[in-house]
Amino acid sequence: MIKKQDIIAEAKRLKFADIGFTDAQPFASQKEYLLAHQEEYGWAEAIGLGLIAGTDPKNILPQAKSIIVLLESYFEESY
């Protein structure tokens, strides 16, 4: 099994700006937000993007226990 410290080390080697870990529990607040803002996001469901289903990671990866979040900084310099 891959260790957390190995993932962190690889993320640093690849120059990600930050890395985080969370459990694979449903994102209830995001689901509530999407349901409350159907006027703005309803189109995404209508074309099959499945934003509401995506608020539960287990809909995508049923065996998931953790989520790895990698941040990449794409604006490093101003011109």
Say if residue 78's pLDDT is above 80: no
Vertex 73, ends 59 and 43: CA angle to 5°?
40
Q: Do 55 and 77 fall into the same domain?
A: no
Mean pLDDT across 48-75:
93
Q: Do 13 and 41 fall into the same domain?
A: no
Q: What is the four-CA torsion angle of 53, 58, 60, 66, rounded to 10 degrees? A: 120
Q: Do 30 and 54 fall into the same domain?
A: yes
Q: Do 31 and 18 fall into the same domain?
A: no
**Tell me: the pLDDT tens digits for 21-35?**
999 999 999 999 999
Both structure tokens of 8: 């962190």
Say if residue 58's pLDDT is above 90: yes
Count of domains for the chain: 2
Q: Do 32 and 55 fall into the same domain?
A: yes
* Rounded Cα distance, 79 and 77, in Å: 7
3: containing domain = 1-23+65-79
Say if residue 1's pLDDT is above 90: no
Q: Do 31 and 57 fall into the same domain?
A: yes
